[in-house]
Chain A
Amino acid sequence: MTRRPHFRRLDLISLLVYLILISISLIMIYSISYSLYEPNEIFTLGSQFFKQLIFVSGSLVLGFFIYLLKIKFLLNSTDVFYMISLGLLLGLFVFGDRIAGAQSWYSIGTFGFQPSELAKVTTVLMISKLFHRNDGDALIFRNFLLVLGIIFLPMILIVSQSDPGTTVTFLFLSFLLYRQGISVVVFMAGILVFFIFMITLIFGTVKSILILFLFVYSLYFLIKRFNLGITKRILTLVTCCSLVVILFSGFVYYQIFEPHHRDRIEVFLGLETDIQNIGYQLNQSKIALESGRLFGTGYLNGPRTLGNYIPEQHTDYIFTAVAEQWGFAGSILIIGLYILLIIRVLNRASLHNSQFRKTFSYGFAAFLLGHFLINIGSNIGLVPTIGIPLPFLSYGGSNILSFTIFMAIYLSMDYRRLSHKTLNDYPA
């Protein structure tokens, strides 16, 4: 018998991290919604803590049932799921509720449901299915476009509902394309576009064009002098593309981003320093982090948390509650747990033989990384605030639900790992 490592064994580490994170989530939401003035209100049906308790238990039950589903069933139903989620996104234009500037919620009684969260799962499933069909193929341009289409379709719907935060997280799925043979150049280009965009915002269009030409001109001389092997043609191409990006930056910035997003980006870039209004959230968040010190202020003893100083602390800024009350130690614990989970998922993903499972797991990891990077990055002032939740930790039913489904499918795939023997043409 060949050794069958990891076969038929539940990924206890991931499950444990998941359970720890949702427990911390409940603990933190308790501390945020705890009020000295109405200490008993926390146990009423309307309190955030109680709602989160319902979300978590509901998601756990649902997750368990999804865990029981056959992978084959998932594979076969992916198209349907994807279409349903697109339909839900489309329906928002008619039935959606506008909350915090974004028209991305369905109201069900006192609860809200955000279909864009569900779209994350279905999009990853859809890409996985596509990759699964084309297993082993090198990048075919048609498939490449198809994948882009699968990703961009929900993105366009979400961005037109004024929710750029969720939209940005979909960009992390481009990691999946990397494996399909997209060269480093694409990523370099992506990073370049990002930097040019930022430079244009900081310096304005005219100055940026001047900077660009100055830069290209000196680069041209360097290339000539040291013979770096970059041809004039590439340089011209890059220059032209950059010019286009610069010219369109203004349009994208002012047409697609909402005013409050622009404010946050401006605060992040240091163009705006008004801590009373726009920078207030980040400012309060930093104060909370600072007062945490090494071991924190103690649970239910954090002034910023107890005083409800940080707007949206229970969703986008939940990390500050941990950082304040449990200090640097708590922050490191949270970061450690996420890193552990991501690396674990990546490791387990790489062991999959099935493209469907492999891609799905990578997609899960990419989403985790994306949320982790943007959310905590914005909490500690490294990334502009665009308002996306921290998986498992933030308050919100849709978020808990979608990431629990991710987790359930991931665990299910990992548990029913296919051995080489059972591989047939297109194993699910």
Chain B
Amino acid sequence: MNEKKLLSVVTGIVAIVFTFQLFNLQILNTWGSNYSQTVFISNEEVLPGRGQIFDRNGNLLVSNRVIYNLMLIPDNLKEIDTVEFASILGLTKNELVNQIKNALDYSSFLPSQIKTKISDSASLVLHEKIWKYPGFFLEKELVRDYKTESAYNLLGYINEVTPAEINQDNSYYSLGDLIGRSGIEKQYELELRGKKGIRYFLRDKFNRDIGGYSDGRMDVPAQSANDLVLSIDSDIQEYGHNLMNNKRGGIVAIEPNSGGVLALISKPSFNSDSLQRTYDTNYFNSLIRDTLNRPFFNRALQAQYSPGSPFKTLNGLIGLQEKVIDSASHFVCNRGYRYAPGSYLACRCPLGTRNKIVESIRKSCNSYFAQLFSLLVDSEKTPELGVEKWRNHLISFGLGDYLGYDLPIGSPGFVPDGDYYSNFYGDYRWNASSIISNAIGQGEIVTTPIQMANFTAAIANRGFFYRPHFVKKIGDTPTQINYPRQYTTIDSTNFEPVISGMEQAVLWGTSTIARIENIQVCGKTGTVENFILIDGKKTQLTDHSVFIAFAPKEDPEIAICVYIENGYWSSRWAAPIASLMIERYLTGGTTRSYLEKRMLEGSLLEEYKKPLLGDSFSINQ
């Protein structure tokens, strides 16, 4: 054997061994099996754009907007003019240097956030000049773009998920995701968020993204979210919002023939745009600490007020239905009603006035409804049974219940039953006169503005309502099928006298200010006494100004409840606002610009200050 043969043989053996080993590793994969597939492939979530929200006329209320975060990969950093850069960003030089140091502490090769939510003007400048600052780049982020300022309470806001929420729904959320926090954003989170996709990508040894894996064949595309169409009419929503300037209270307007809410206004409100994705919690804290205005408290949905005189319409209906009265029966009012020895319920009717149901609603006669209520409670063997009967009718109007509308907050209100009074006064120790205040909506019964708007709609419909709801369409699917007609316990024929009373109240009764030319408005005023505790002492404040109405009388298109805290007379605030909104909704404008101006400019802030100042104060001025 010569060296040629020896070397050839060795070479041959080496070649065979190598080929065998390579075949083993590369074709048979005997060594690692799949290890190579898992170790360097990462995936990231692809977020679909959050669903847009439209009003009933197709006006965009909420869409998405791009904001920019300034990112830095410290490894690529070169010498830069920190002073100029800091001034573009609106930071001080030291702040910028500290941010860069923090980023460097985190990782040299992975991007860190230097500044979030860069203002529009700064991002424009940055887009032009970013090339001067190697290592820095702008990262897009989608946030909510609220097109109207009038519906933050209704629409809600979004914010980053908390660890607790991630645990609750750990199949979906991950840190940094946004979630609806209140209003429509929270209620329809599942529809609005869409479905996240997954993008697989390769990492290099520094964990940097080095491109998609196998040309994206394994990627799951994000499923875009559903757009929502609300039943809200953004025009009157905005209008009502403006009319409520410098006032506290709530407005709910409902379309009686569908149950769709046309406007939901609660004042004071907050700003969803400032709340979303805020790393600076000052704004949120300032809202949550404002215990006077309570901006997160939705007065239209959550505030439980005494319904006041508008409640008389329901008592009248119950009396008619229970045949305690009929449309011709009358009660005498002697400037009020002496319901028990020494106890007198005042009224504004002159001495010896005889009121039938229609007049009593027109004039809002307290005596009439006190006597009606007494008869009603006493019509059964015991007052408990009488109250129970009364209560069942009220329940059928949706009182004492959350109503089941599609927003995540609300209050049930309260409709007392016989047991409640038996517990309060003791068995057989009470009768109709003990609870007579309920006759005029001032007693133990409390309702929320949306409940009042709802029963107004039921009256407008002559005996039925649709559960109020805010979303008309999810994507292309109408939601009306989820809201079937709910009948009240009152026969439709019994509504006519009450509706006539409401119509006359507007025409020549208590609320002539709500009269609109060529539109038959039916309304009922309310001026609600209310009390608070100041230093442990029950103190009366200026009455709430309340108004319920629907229009037109035949085939009503809008039912509305306006509740203004401490506004005094109904016709001072609530009735004009309700009337203006109805006019705006039905005609698109107003002929009473003087009234509109007074409402827009009127302020109750002085009234709200009174109990806070610590001095004695006078009410109902």
Mark A residues whose CB is within 8 Å of B.
36-37, 175-176, 178-179, 286-294, 303-304, 306-309, 323, 327-328, 331-332, 335, 339, 342-343, 346-347, 349-350, 362, 365-366, 369, 372-373, 376-377, 380-382
Q: Which residues of A contact B167 (CB under 8 A)?
A: none
Q: Is the C-beta of B36 less than 8 angstroms from some C-beta in chain A?
A: yes
Distance in angstroms between the alpha carbons of A37 and B41 in the assembled complex? 18
A285 closest partner in B (C-beta): B25
Distance in angstroms between the alpha carbons of A331 and B209 in the assembled complex? 28
Say yes or no: A331-B2 contact (C-beta < 8 A), given A339-B11, A377-B18.
no
Would you give the shortest CB distance from A117 to chain B, in whole angstroms?
21
- Please name the 7 residue pairs, one residue from A and one from B, whose CB atoms are nearest each other, closest first: A307-B204, A328-B26, A179-B3, A291-B36, A287-B36, A350-B4, A290-B36
Distance in angstroms between the alpha carbons of A339 and B31 in the assembled complex? 26
Q: Which residues of B contact A178 (CB under 8 A)?
A: 3, 6
Distance in angstroms between the alpha carbons of A126 and B4 in the assembled complex? 20
* Contact between chains at A291 and B37 (CB < 8 Å): yes
* Contact between chains at B202 and A332 (CB < 8 Å): no
* Contact between chains at A303 and B41 (CB < 8 Å): yes
Which of A308, A328, A342 is close to B27, meaning CB atoms less than 8 Å apart? A328
* Contact between chains at B37 and A369 (CB < 8 Å): no
Q: Which residues of B contact A373 (CB under 8 A)?
A: 14
Q: Is the C-beta of B8 less than 8 angstroms from some C-beta in chain A?
A: yes
Q: Which residues of A contact B21 (CB under 8 A)?
A: 380-382
Distance in angstroms between the alpha carbons of A331 and B29 in the assembled complex? 15
Which of B4, B6, B26, B40 is close to A323, meaning CB atoms less than 8 Å apart? B26
Distance in angstroms between the alpha carbons of A292 and B26 in the assembled complex? 6
* Contact between chains at A382 and B6 (CB < 8 Å): no
Q: Which residues of A contact B205 (CB under 8 A)?
A: 307-309
Within 8 A of A (CB), among B10-38: 10-12, 14-15, 17-19, 21-23, 25-27, 29, 31-32, 35-37
Would you give the shortest CB distance from B24 to chain A, in whole angstroms?
9
Within 8 A of A (CB), among B188-213: 202-205, 208-211, 213
Q: Which residues of A contact B14 (CB under 8 A)?
A: 369, 372-373, 377
Residue pairs across A and B with Cβ atoms less than 8 A apart, 17 shown, are A36-B209, A175-B3, A290-B32, A303-B41, A304-B40, A308-B205, A328-B22, A328-B23, A328-B27, A335-B15, A335-B22, A346-B7, A346-B8, A369-B10, A369-B14, A380-B25, A381-B21
* Contact between chains at A294 and B19 (CB < 8 Å): no
Distance in angstroms between the alpha carbons of A339 and B10 in the assembled complex? 11
Distance in angstroms between the alpha carbons of A372 and B17 in the assembled complex? 13
Distance in angstroms between the alpha carbons of A144 and B597 in the assembled complex? 118
Say yes or no: A286-B7 contact (C-beta < 8 A), given A307-B202, A307-B205, A373-B14.
no
Q: Which residues of A contact B26 (CB under 8 A)?
A: 289-290, 292-294, 323, 327-328, 331
Q: Which residues of B contact A307 (CB under 8 A)?
A: 40, 202-205, 210
Q: Is the C-beta of B57 less than 8 angstroms from some C-beta in chain A?
A: no
Distance in angstroms between the alpha carbons of A130 and B165 in the assembled complex? 83
* Contact between chains at A335 and B204 (CB < 8 Å): no
Q: Which residues of B contact A372 (CB under 8 A)?
A: 14
Which of B6, B39, B210 is close to A287, meaning CB atoms less than 8 Å apart? B39
Say yes or no: A350-B19 contact (C-beta < 8 A), given A290-B31, A294-B26.
no
Q: Which residues of A contact B37 (CB under 8 A)?
A: 291
Q: Which residues of A contact B6 (CB under 8 A)?
A: 175, 178
* Contact between chains at B76 and A350 (CB < 8 Å): no
Q: Which residues of A contact B35 (CB under 8 A)?
A: 287, 290
Within 8 A of A (CB), among B299-353: none
* Contact between chains at A343 and B8 (CB < 8 Å): yes
* Contact between chains at A382 and B17 (CB < 8 Å): yes
Distance in angstroms between the alpha carbons of A249 and B37 in the assembled complex? 41
Distance in angstroms between the alpha carbons of A308 and B40 in the assembled complex? 11
* Contact between chains at B7 and A362 (CB < 8 Å): yes
A179 closest partner in B (C-beta): B3
B4 closest partner in A (C-beta): A350
Say yes or no: A36-B211 contact (C-beta < 8 A), given A328-B22, A335-B15.
yes
Which of A176, A308, A332, A339 is close to B22, meaning CB atoms less than 8 Å apart? A332
Q: Which residues of A contact B41 (CB under 8 A)?
A: 303
Would you give the shortest CB distance from A320 to chain B, in whole angstroms?
11
Q: Which residues of B contact A349 (CB under 8 A)?
A: 4
Would you give the shortest CB distance from B137 to chain A, in whole angstroms?
11
* Contact between chains at B7 and A366 (CB < 8 Å): yes
A362 closest partner in B (C-beta): B3
Q: Which residues of A contact B8 (CB under 8 A)?
A: 343, 346
Distance in angstroms between the alpha carbons of A267 and B35 in the assembled complex? 19
* Contact between chains at B25 and A365 (CB < 8 Å): no
Would you give the shortest CB distance from A426 to chain B, in whole angstroms?
21
Would you give the shortest CB distance from A171 to chain B, in whole angstroms?
13
* Contact between chains at A176 and B36 (CB < 8 Å): no
Distance in angstroms between the alpha carbons of A128 and B29 in the assembled complex? 45
Q: Which residues of B contact A331 (CB under 8 A)?
A: 22, 26
* Contact between chains at A380 and B22 (CB < 8 Å): yes
Distance in angstroms between the alpha carbons of A373 and B208 in the assembled complex? 35
Would you give the shortest CB distance from A357 to chain B, in whole angstroms?
14
16 additional contacts (CB under 8 A) given A350-B4, A369-B14 = A36-B208, A36-B209, A37-B208, A175-B3, A287-B36, A290-B29, A294-B26, A323-B22, A323-B26, A328-B23, A328-B26, A335-B15, A335-B19, A343-B11, A362-B4, A377-B18
Q: Which residues of B contact A382 (CB under 8 A)?
A: 17-18, 21
* Contact between chains at A342 and B3 (CB < 8 Å): no
Which of B7, B15, B36 is close to A175, meaning CB atoms less than 8 Å apart? B7
A184 closest partner in B (C-beta): B1
Would you give the shortest CB distance from A425 to chain B, in whole angstroms?
24
Which of B6, B18, B204, B211: most chain A Cβ within 10 A?
A: B18
Distance in angstroms between the alpha carbons of A342 and B23 in the assembled complex? 22
Would you give the shortest CB distance from A84 to chain B, in whole angstroms?
28
Distance in angstroms between the alpha carbons of A64 and B433 in the assembled complex? 122
* Contact between chains at B76 and A37 (CB < 8 Å): yes
* Contact between chains at A369 and B15 (CB < 8 Å): no
Q: Which residues of A contact B15 (CB under 8 A)?
A: 335, 339
Distance in angstroms between the alpha carbons of A346 and B19 in the assembled complex? 21
A331 closest partner in B (C-beta): B22
Distance in angstroms between the alpha carbons of A190 and B581 in the assembled complex? 105
Would you give the shortest CB distance from B305 to chain A, in whole angstroms?
63
* Contact between chains at B4 and A309 (CB < 8 Å): no
Would you give the shortest CB distance from A409 to chain B, in whole angstroms?
18
Would you give the shortest CB distance from A406 to chain B, in whole angstroms?
15
Say yes or no: A293-B203 contact (C-beta < 8 A), given A303-B41, A335-B18, A380-B22.
no
Would you give the shortest CB distance from B576 to chain A, in whole angstroms?
66
B215 closest partner in A (C-beta): A301
Q: Which residues of A contact B210 (CB under 8 A)?
A: 36, 303, 306-307
Distance in angstroms between the alpha carbons of A293 and B39 in the assembled complex? 17
Q: Which residues of A contact B2 (CB under 8 A)?
A: 179, 350
Q: Which residues of B contact A366 (CB under 8 A)?
A: 7
Say yes or no: A306-B27 contact (C-beta < 8 A), given A328-B22, A362-B3, A381-B21.
no
Distance in angstroms between the alpha carbons of A362 and B209 in the assembled complex? 48
Which of B10, B11, B27, B40 is close to A303, meaning CB atoms less than 8 Å apart? B40
Say yes or no: A176-B3 contact (C-beta < 8 A), given A287-B36, A289-B22, A303-B41.
yes
* Contact between chains at B208 and A309 (CB < 8 Å): no
Distance in angstroms between the alpha carbons of A343 and B23 in the assembled complex? 23
Distance in angstroms between the alpha carbons of A381 and B21 in the assembled complex? 9
B11 closest partner in A (C-beta): A342
Would you give the shortest CB distance from A421 to chain B, in whole angstroms?
24
Which of A287, A290, A376: most chain B Cβ within 10 A?
A: A290
* Contact between chains at A286 and B31 (CB < 8 Å): yes
Which of A292, A335, A347, A381 is close to B4, meaning CB atoms less than 8 Å apart? A347
Would you give the shortest CB distance from A388 to chain B, in whole angstroms?
15
B24 closest partner in A (C-beta): A380
Q: Which residues of B contact A369 (CB under 8 A)?
A: 7, 10-11, 14
Distance in angstroms between the alpha carbons of A362 and B3 in the assembled complex? 8
Q: Which residues of B contact A335 (CB under 8 A)?
A: 15, 18-19, 22
Say yes or no: A309-B22 contact (C-beta < 8 A), given A369-B11, A382-B17.
no
Would you give the shortest CB distance from A183 to chain B, in whole angstroms?
11
